[in-house]
Chains A and B, each alone.
Chain A
Amino acid sequence: MINKKHKWLIGALMLATATFSCKKDLLDIKPIDFVSDVAVFQDITLTNQFVNDIYGSLLSGFERRDFGWTEGWASGFSLLDMMTDDIEGHNDLPLNKVQAGDLNSQFSEGTQMWAANYALIRKANTLIARIDGVPTTNTALKARLKAETKFLRAFAYAELIKAFGGVPLITVEQGVNDDLEVPRNTYAECVAFIVKECDEAAAVLAPSYPDAADLGRATKGAALALKARTLLFYASPLNNPGNTLSRWDDAAKAAQQVMALAPATYSLYPDYYQLFMTKTGNKEVIFAKKFARPGRTHQTAWMLHMSIRPNPWGAWGAFHATQNLVDSYEMKNGLLPDQPGSGYDEQNPYANRDSRLDRSMLFNGSQFKGFTVETFQSADLSVFPDGNAAERTNGDRTKTGYGLRKFIDDRYLTSDAVYQGGDNDWIYMRYAEVLLNYAEARNEFSGPDGTVYDALDAVRARAGQPALPRTFTQATLRDKIRNERRVELCFEEHRVYDVRRWKLGMTYFNGPIYRMNIIKNADGTLTYNRRALLENRVYKESYNLFPIPQIEIERNRKLTPNP
């Protein structure tokens, strides 16, 4: 007979022993928000999603980050070209230190570039090593994904060697216990690897994808264009000190391989501004980093856009084009403003200019979202206020008299949408560049010929600029080609490398930078002074390659720093 007291005892015992009789699998908790690596390479759908992520790892000009800013939004306001004589950056950017002559191994964008590209390379190495084992009957898909990934890996290496010269060529998925201190390969070895990989990818990839849902994937043309660009750099003075002419020939021929895909696959997009906004049916784009609202956006529009008062959409004003660049835009007659007979009017400086000036920049008198941009300052504030985008208006003012229009998708410059970001693509390679690559390589190899002029004229014609007279020498045409590149490809992160590979840094990056100073006089007239000094820049020959990031030198003792 269990009495009352014992009942309690038993109850207490049962409670106490409940712990022992617990379920065995208490501690076997499985993650619910991620999958294992084994699963990824057992299922082609998951493998495919991994490839999506490799594309997502591409670092574009819209995502450059100054590590001095820890905030998550702080990317997209420091184009590499802010190191050049084309752009003045926001005061708070580290690129300003570079302009002032301090390009050191702490350079944060260099570190970001190094880290991001090697992260992509590792993923690509993983995919390339493991995709053959993925069970699927769709072998074509497997081959294509592998070729796309090979292209992406080659692209990452091409980005690295443009900036740093030869880098460690890592083509296998390293284990934690491997020897991770890999020495640098030579520039030539890297070029050979990129060219080989591009050729292999081009052999598998189609020039275009039949399914619109695949738009943006790597194509045959992308692989060939990357090869052409890489060979052009290989032939350039920085990397070809002996000027081995066959390298120029290789570069020209590689560009021709891309040109052979025109006009079926490639052609110049008629509108130079819309070119950077048009995402479908744009046959000029060869390879781009894709964005799509609302999930994949960039903050470039409001970061780089200059403020116009009243400012209903927000802007950080990180971008200020220089007068130096503006002076390289031809008049409509094909002559540069400073050339005799150009017809350039110092007091009406934006009249009769190459149409790309207005497509690329905002300046005094530009129309933008219903505003007339005013960058002038009042000679007497009691008579006229400053212009609506003038230096004295607010903290995001233009320092140079110029703002950015290219890349700026004004549809999203509204007070609601601006912080949600824009989704225009960052174009890495486009057909106009291929034409310019061809013109440069061919001119260097064999001097001016009809194909060189044709390539240049095609680019110029889209801008409405007259065909070049067939009277150039190799040397004068070289200058023309270089200027054409500067104008056509401005802000697209070409100049930062072009000037370096031409070994012209001391010419362009070491000296005065000018701004346009406009004074509104008491009588309402404007006085333009296009050679107001903004600052003096400092460059050193040793800056032709970016320094290997300090943290990498600290971790890899086999890495030789750049001089």
Chain B
Amino acid sequence: MKRFRLLIVLLVFSLALPEAFAQSISVSGTVKDKLGKEIPGVSVVIKGTTNGVSTGTDGKYAITVPKAGTTLVFSFIGMTTQEFLITKSETINVTLDEAANSLNDVVIVGFGSQKRSNVTGSVATVNSKQLVQTPVGDLSNALAGRTPGVITKQPSGEPGADATQIYIRGNSTFGGGTMEPLFVIDGIVRSGRDFGQMDPNEIESVSILKDASSAAIFGVKGANGVVLVTTKRGKAGQLSANYSFNYGFSQVTRLPDALGSYEYAVLYNEAKLNDNPNATPEFSLDRLESFRNGNDPDVNPNTNWMDLVLGGTAPRMQHNLSLSGGSEKTKYFTSFGYLDEDGLYSSLNYRRYNVRTNLDIQATSTTKISVDLSARMENKQSPPASIDNIFEHTMRNPPIFPARFSNGLLAAPGVYPNPLALISEESGYNRNSSNYFLSNFQVVQQIPGVEGLSIKGVLAFDRNFNYNKIWNQWVPLYIRNADGTYTVSAQSKSSLSKGYGEGQGLELQGHINYDRRFGKHGISALALVLQKENQGTGIYGARNSYESSALQILNFGPALNEVLSDGESKTALRSAAFRLNYDFDGKYLFQASLRRDESENFAPKERVGYFPAFSAGWLITRESFMQNVKFVDFLKLKASYGTLGSDRIPSRFGYYNRYNLVPNAYPFGGVPNTGLTPGAIANENLTWETSIKMDAGIEAKLFKNQLSVDFTLFKERRKDILATRSLSVPLSFGAALPSENIGIVENKGLELVLNHNKQLSADWSYFIGGNFTYAKNKIIEAAEASNIPEGKRITGRPNGGYYGYKAVGIFRDAADYAASPKPTAFLNSTGPGDIKYEDISGPNGIPDGVIDDFDITYLGNGTLPQILYGINGGVNFKGFELNFLLQGAAQSQQLLTQNAAWAFHNGGRVNAEWLDRWTPARPDAPLPRLTLNTNGNNYLVSSFWLQNSSYIRLKNVEFAYTLKNKVLTKIGAKNLRIYAQGQNLFTITDLLNLDPENTNGIGRYYPQQKTYTFGVNIQF
């Protein structure tokens, strides 16, 4: 601490050092930007006059000032203006910083960086402040709502498994191809999880490459867009330390409202009578009365299962310590992060440790070496029961079964498992440990004698180890007998499984960079070769029927039902790329690139692909005719066109005529025999998906940079999507057909960003901004059967759409029922109060008075929203900050089924909305009459259960105060920031029961969380 203080004192002292006096004063020097690049054309003016000079092409200037005490003003568009008080002749080298929110931000692009004003592609950025502002376990969640073009859906809130699905500009593929973008961390392709599980404090910036020209350098990997991450690096200077800590707790965003026992039982009786008017009621009046009174809860329970399992709060905690600094020769950034997230039930916990060291060594004046090492350890403990299993029964069990008797014994609720047993620590454990080591070594050599030419070599080496152990044991459940005694459930034996996997990756890159200006001509070129190899192996063993829990190891169990398996995989890629940027006078911008890829996933003759892209931009504000248009500070038009690929398709060795191993194919004589089964027929022509992307946009800054507008139109045609002709080839062919590159999807849309910020006074400022994305896709070709009825045809309709019957209300009464078309399947069981469907068509294409397969039609575009938007804003007053982010989605639907929507499904519970159901007395109620059988007319896939899942939610709000005063200085700190944050605080949606971001319409998922966090950040 003493050292810090000393350093600070020295620094302050040196700045304040009084200068000597002088008479004839000439000042000269060089103006550079933050990256050390000379800036030509910077105006150097004597304050209060128009007298001044500009810097030359080399950034140098020289000026004579009349007297000491004169102030020189250095200004350049997009940079913060700097002033220097001149007291004597001297050399003043100036480094101009980009103005806040400036166009001269350096944007990280693939294998390089560009000034934002020069970018001709579509690149969005999320800055480190925004990332840290969102206290999330998985970083992918921090991208939601921050930038246009990024469509997000977070299907689960489970600690350690809560990643957001990211669709850059929508969904352009089907049939198993992934839309996951490519994640590139410091120039090396990593997994989505490598990104998601980074500590946000390690990150300098995140760029999202959306169009062909920006992602083209990634070729066959780039069609889904690219998320580029740059980590923080050390700066020369004193040691700077940063410690942050936050603590918070999470709750479920929304839970279905299940009816209690009394109402459940009343409705049950009604449903039973609806099914069979002669039936005896299930619950007698006495029993109903007992439920209502709640007396003797052991006999007449009223169990709220959702609340028992999910009603709690889950604490979470994060620490991060990072240090950076160094000398001109050696700079370092090092960070240690720790995350500890508990689940809503105590048997669930996730812990993560992140370590990173980025080291830069200036080995010679022209040689720079970087060594980046990062590692993380993820430890997760959860109950052995799967999420699906836990939530199936949490969603299903009716309230009339006890969860736990008053004496503390766990109850056996009817036939289904007790979810409290499934989440109990007595039930065993599922332990996961994942360890990752990622490294990245780089050498950059400026070529002496050739200005602007450098070469770079990169070696990235990764290792990972994953370990999983699941021990499952019996939890005693009790049945209460009529005489008040308890019977314990039959004891079951324990089981164990263990899996171990490891992987490694090796990537080599060679770059040649050339970057130079010749007068008005700016040239920058990159040539790149790249080679990558990944391999993985794993082994899995399981035994069951353990008689005892004493030894939880494999060899302690009986070999009878043993499972043993292993797997190995290997992939490789070899690529080369070339990119050329040219600008004339900073006004006309051009970029062209070409990448060649060879992927091992295809037959030798189909391995090589070329991916070209072009883009151009016009900086209109640099034209002389714009100089008089005062309110326009910046205006740029840009357009791009190019081809990209996606080789992450669901076909491994699809070119190979294969026979797969079938263990235990057939037991002759009681002895299992191995079999060989033919796989899908080979397709030697199999290749990647090809995406042709077009993009055109306009960027503007108006009114002294107070308003910025960014508008982009985009279109993608993705072809060669893997599809099988199985949709059009008869089943009598008898084999799985090869995947062929036949599908085509078209995706188009627009993005709009508006930002406004204003400094109202020295103390007050505010900003508000919004981004909006609309992306709509259409299947152009899917190899459908020629005879398929029009209503079921997916060609010409959005990808992933919903198909079913169109509900047109509920049969109000017998007359309505008699007069309406009905499904033939349920004539025995339908009647007034059931759902009425539209008679759309028949075998001859015209309505036939019968509801059948021909009436199935397209109902909606599916769970992926077509519209996504974010609105963020904030106010700063002195040290106080208030920021918020609203995020929303529209034009999406969710089909709610089973226990998420239906009453009594599979013996299950009833949600509160069913109080408003059809009865003869209430013929206009929104829900149909009750039944105990959820396999009938009312439960067909129809628009009735398809709900609008549009939503708007307060994704994030933060209130912070930054303290800077002498007290802090005394303890060695520069500043202290304390804050309170809320995540997902409220949501407005029409969707019933479930979180609108879920993708599981049955409700069997770990719910999304709202989180309240308090934190502190101290900088030394």
Contacts and interface: CB of A to CB of B under 8 A. Distances in A.
A320 to B, nearest CB: 14
B670 A215 contact: yes
B921 interface: no
Interface in B190-227: none
Interface stretch (B568-576, B703-711, B751-759): B568-576
Interface stretch (A49-57, A250-258, A483-491): A49-57
B735 A5 contact: no
A311 B676 contact: no
B327 interface: no
Given A15-B457, A16-B455, A114 B907 contact: no
B907 A394 contact: yes
Q: Which of B416, B492, B568, B827 neighbours the largest number of chain A CB atoms within 10 Å of its CB?
A: B492
A307 B415 contact: yes
A507 interface: no
Contacts of A36: 656-659
Given A11-B443, A12-B445, A114-B731, A52 B673 contact: yes
Contacts of B664: 292, 295-296
A217 B667 CA distance: 10
Contact of B363 (A8, A93, A180): A8
B574 A53 contact: no
Interface string B659-671: 1111111111111
Interface in A127-169: 167-168
Nearest to A31: B653
B769 interface: no
Contact of A170 (B479, B732, B935): B732
Contacts of A1: none
A215 B666 CA distance: 11
A216 interface: yes
A118 B735 CA distance: 8
A414 B474 CA distance: 13
A292 B671 contact: yes
Given A5-B364, A8-B367, A16-B511, A102 B824 contact: yes
Interface in B593-625: 598-600, 604, 607
Contacts of A29: 570-572, 600
Interface string A201-222: 0000000000111111100000
B656 A31 contact: yes
A410 B858 CA distance: 48
Contact of A121 (B364, B567, B734, B825): B734
Interface in B548-572: 560-561, 567-568, 570-572
Interface in A1-41: 4-5, 8-9, 11-20, 22, 26-29, 31-40
Interface in B389-418: 412, 414-416
A562 interface: no
B150 to A, nearest CB: 31
A20 B677 CA distance: 40
A312 interface: yes
A294 B456 contact: no
B684 to A, nearest CB: 12
Nearest to B275: A91
Contact of A555 (B492, B544, B729, B935): B729
A381 interface: yes
Q: Which of B533, B658, B666, B732 neighbours the largest number of chain A CB atoms within 10 Å of its CB?
A: B732
Contacts of B492: 414-416
A102 B826 CA distance: 8
B733 A549 contact: no
Contacts of B785: 551, 554-555
B24 interface: no
Contacts of B568: 32-33
Interface in A414-432: 414-417, 420
A49 B656 CA distance: 19
A20 B457 CA distance: 12
B180 interface: no
Nearest to A103: B825
Interface stretch (B111-119, B482-490, B577-585): B482-490
B363 to A, nearest CB: 5
B788 interface: yes
Given A26-B531, A310-B479, A115 B459 contact: no
A101 B828 contact: yes
Nearest to A214: B668
Interface residues of A, number: 114
B508 interface: yes
Given A16-B455, A535-B828, A50 B668 contact: no
Q: Which of B414, B444, B674, B678 neighbours the largest number of chain A CB atoms within 10 Å of its CB?
A: B678
B289 interface: no
A472 interface: no
B934 interface: yes
Given A49-B676, A122-B734, A19 B530 contact: yes
B658 A31 contact: yes
B170 to A, nearest CB: 26
A153 to B, nearest CB: 11
Given A16-B456, A92-B934, A416-B492, A49 B731 contact: no
Interface in B522-551: 529-531, 533, 544-545
A386 B674 CA distance: 49
A107 to B, nearest CB: 11
B284 A381 contact: yes
Contacts of A451: none
B510 interface: yes
B282 interface: yes
Interface in B713-733: 725, 727-733
B456 A12 contact: yes
Contacts of A182: 730, 732
A53 B662 contact: yes
B510 A5 contact: no
B490 A33 contact: no
B827 A101 contact: yes
Contacts of A181: 730
Given A27-B600, A35-B658, A176-B737, A394 B414 contact: yes
A104 B852 contact: yes
A396 B415 contact: yes
A240 interface: no
Interface string B442-459: 011101100000011111
B592 to A, nearest CB: 23
Interface string A273-294: 0000001100000000011111
A119 B787 contact: no
B650 interface: no
Interface in B42-69: none
Contacts of B447: 9
Interface string B640-661: 0000000000001100111111
A123 interface: yes
A394 B448 CA distance: 85
Given A36-B658, A104-B852, A416-B493, A556 B732 contact: yes
A34 B658 contact: yes
Contacts of A106: 853
B672 interface: yes
Given A15-B459, A34-B658, A551-B785, 9 more contacts: A26-B572, A31-B656, A33-B568, A34-B660, A55-B666, A215-B668, A292-B667, A416-B492, A559-B730
Closest 10 CB pairs of A and B: A122-B734, A295-B664, A15-B457, A16-B510, A312-B490, A395-B907, A102-B825, A292-B667, A53-B675, A8-B367
9 contacts: A8-B363, A12-B455, A17-B510, A20-B529, A56-B675, A168-B732, A174-B733, A280-B670, A551-B785
Interface of A: 4-5, 8-9, 11-20, 22, 26-29, 31-40, 46, 49-50, 52-53, 55-56, 91-94, 96-97, 100-102, 104-106, 111, 114-115, 118-123, 125-126, 167-168, 170, 174, 176, 180-182, 211-217, 279-280, 290-296, 307, 310-315, 381, 385, 392, 394-396, 414-417, 420, 535-536, 538, 549-557, 559
